[in-house]
């Protein structure tokens, strides 16, 4: 779409567009590293092209007038810009466990069970008399304009100060209010009649919703302002409701084991089953909890955004056109694409599946390196699967009739390798701390909206999970929201969740003996 903005040499074009509430892809919070904020200058003058742009934009794009909005600044009064139409993003929603939660405090009215994820926000309207779900809604977290991950958003707070804290709170409060109004309208009730809103979220999202400084979470010693449960008034936060509407923020364990994980562990009843259970929430930050009869141990590992389709050459969020699975063989390449439309990119499950297939077929070695085409015999079907782009080897998933081909590069494989190494090494540290081996695990629970769409085949074959029987894998779905539902309906559940958070021991991976060596070992496929 064509937009016109007033020149302001002190601010980047991206800042100007966001100030006008014009949606713009922005993965790196304006650092010139993701290349997603590409726009075309139609008229007006801008400053000289920068080194990051020369690296991320093709020569053809530069000749056509394209710039990165985060790098470009206007040098005139008025600028006409062509901004890509915002893609319709697919919001994954999954059900969690459906335990028989009987309200111990039945009330005549409705409340909200909320899961605020870094990527997705999900809300359920609950009848407080019987615990039934009356309506549900979901959206992409509106804070994404400040960065796709929590550290980028914390960086925005650091750079913008108090104004940044207020902006991030305003974004998430606005999103929650929109969802609340939607689900209440579906049921035919007024949003200001809500009695209680219970929120399970990671520690950073909890801080940003409460309008509390999240910057300490992003720097050593990584100590959040609060981890205990909070009871706040909705009106004070700017949320829908009335003067008496309670907002209950579930407790966290540490800066990177948040209330969403505590909620999931509680609703899955890991503390009381008496077996060895591993709980995993796979995302940009992989959060792990190992429950044993002798104690509960947790850690967080920086998996990076590759498993969500980011920082990948042909990566994208899950939406129509995203490749979600792939098979590679002598007969060619078979793709599964969301929406059954022509492929336009790879989402997280897709890049995981591609790497699985590349390793399985020997196109990529166990060390994560592309094989050389010349290493295959002339009659080997794999010989033509890889090609050189200059001196670098690539694998072409799909040849486009127009636009760029969809490829996987060595860098893409490396991103998946780093994510796999981070999560697997975290699992190994927890097992070692508890004196267990993979064979001792009775259950492995995969939690979260994103994890629900990762096939066991991919997780096990690339070694992201230790070698366990697929029968032991359980997909817990959105256990965070279900955990928030339990506290919404039960004062006893609130007490149990708060006690649980205090009982989970947090292990800092970087302090573990020989962790660097373990991480390197876990990089191998």
Q: Residue 509: which of 219, 286, 252, 275 has the closest Cα?
A: 286
pLDDT for res 100: 67
Q: 61 burial class (0-12, 13-18, 19+ CB within 10 angstroms)?
A: middle
User: Is the domain covering 110-249 a CATH 3.30.420.480 domain?
Assistant: yes
Q: Mean pLDDT in each 10-residue stretch from start to end of the chain (525 residues)?
A: 74 78 71 82 87 86 88 81 66 56 88 93 96 94 87 92 96 98 97 98 98 96 96 98 98 97 95 93 90 97 83 86 95 94 93 96 96 92 90 90 84 95 97 97 89 88 96 92 96 97 95 94 96
CA dihedral (345, 351, 356, 362) in degrees, to 10, reads 60
Q: Which residue has the tokens 């708060």?
A: 498
Close Cβ partners of 419 (under 8 Å, ≥ 6 residues apart) = 286, 303, 304, 306, 307, 464
**Helix, strand or coil for residue 147?**
coil
CA pair distance 162, 382, nearest whole angstrom: 56
pLDDT for res 285: 82
CATH 3.30.420.480 domain residues, the chain = 110-249
CA pair distance 94, 509, nearest whole angstrom: 30
pLDDT for res 310: 79
pLDDT for res 103: 85
Q: What homologous superfamily is domain 2-82 in, according to CATH? A: Beta-grasp domain (3.10.20.30)
CATH 3.10.20.30 domain residues, the chain = 2-82
Strands, E, within 29-143: which ranges? Answer: 38-43, 66-68, 78-82, 110-116, 120-127, 133-140
pLDDT for res 89: 52
pLDDT for res 119: 83
Alpha helix (H) ranges present in 47-161?
51-56, 59-63, 150-160
């Amino acid at each position: 779409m064509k937009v016109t903005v007033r020149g302001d040499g002190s601010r980047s074009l991206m800042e100007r567009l966001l100030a006008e509430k014009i949606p713009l892809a922005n993965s790196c919070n304006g650092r010139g590293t993701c290349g997603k904020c590409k726009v075309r200058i139609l008229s007006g003058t801008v400053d000289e092209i920068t080194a990051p742009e020369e690296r991320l934009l093709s020569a053809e794009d530069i000749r056509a007038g394209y710039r990165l909005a985060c790098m470009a600044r206007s040098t005139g009064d008025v600028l006409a810009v062509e901004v890509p139409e915002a893609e319709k993003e697919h919001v994954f929603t999954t059900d969690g466990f459906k335990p028989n939660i009987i309200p111990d405090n039945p009330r005549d009215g409705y409340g909200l069970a909320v899961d605020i994820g870094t990527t997705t926000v999900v809300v359920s309207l609950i009848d407080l008399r019987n615990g039934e779900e009356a309506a549900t809604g979901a959206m992409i977290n509106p804070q994404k304009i400040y960065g796709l991950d929590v550290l980028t958003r914390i960086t925005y707070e650091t750079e913008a100060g108090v104004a940044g804290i207020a902006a991030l709170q305003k974004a998430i409060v606005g999103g929650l209010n929109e969802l609340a109004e939607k689900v209440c309208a579906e049921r035919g009730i007024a949003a200001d009649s809500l009695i209680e809103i219970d929120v399970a979220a990671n520690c950073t999202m909890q801080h940003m919703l409460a309008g509390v400084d999240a910057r300490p979470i992003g720097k050593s010693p990584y100590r959040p302002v609060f981890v205990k449960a909070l009871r706040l008034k909705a009106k004070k936060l700017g949320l829908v409701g009335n003067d008496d509407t309670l907002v209950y923020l579930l407790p966290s364990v540490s800066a990177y084991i948040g209330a969403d994980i505590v909620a999931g562990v509680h609703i899955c009843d890991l503390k009381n089953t008496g077996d060895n259970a591993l709980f995993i929430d796979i995302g940009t930050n992989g959060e792990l909890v190992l429950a044993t009869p002798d104690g509960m141990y947790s850690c967080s590992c920086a998996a990076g955004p590759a498993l969500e389709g980011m920082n990948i050459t042909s990566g994208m969020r899950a939406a129509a056109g995203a490749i979600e699975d792939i098979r590679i063989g002598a007969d060619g390449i078979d793709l599964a694409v969301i929406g059954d439309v022509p492929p336009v990119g790879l989402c997280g499950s897709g890049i995981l599946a591609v790497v699985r297939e590349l390793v399985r077929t020997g196109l990529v070695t166990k060390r994560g390196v592309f094989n050389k085409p010349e290493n295959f015999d002339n009659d080997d079907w794999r010989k033509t699967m890889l090609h050189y782009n200059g001196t670098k080897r690539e694998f072409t998933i799909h040849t486009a009739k127009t636009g760029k081909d969809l490829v996987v590069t060595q860098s893409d494989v490396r991103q998946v390798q780093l994510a796999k190494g981070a999560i697997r090494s975290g699992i190994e540290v927890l097992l070692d701390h508890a004196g267990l081996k993979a064979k001792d695990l009775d259950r492995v629970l995969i939690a979260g909206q994103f994890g629900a769409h990762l096939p066991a085949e991919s997780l096990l074959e690339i070694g992201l999970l230790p070698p366990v029987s697929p029968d032991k894998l359980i997909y817990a779905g959105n256990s965070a929201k279900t955990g928030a539902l339990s506290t919404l309906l039960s004062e006893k559940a609130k007490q149990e969740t708060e006690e649980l958070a205090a009982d989970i021991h947090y292990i800092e991976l970087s302090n573990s003996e020989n962790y660097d060596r373990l991480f390197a070992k876990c990089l191998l496929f």
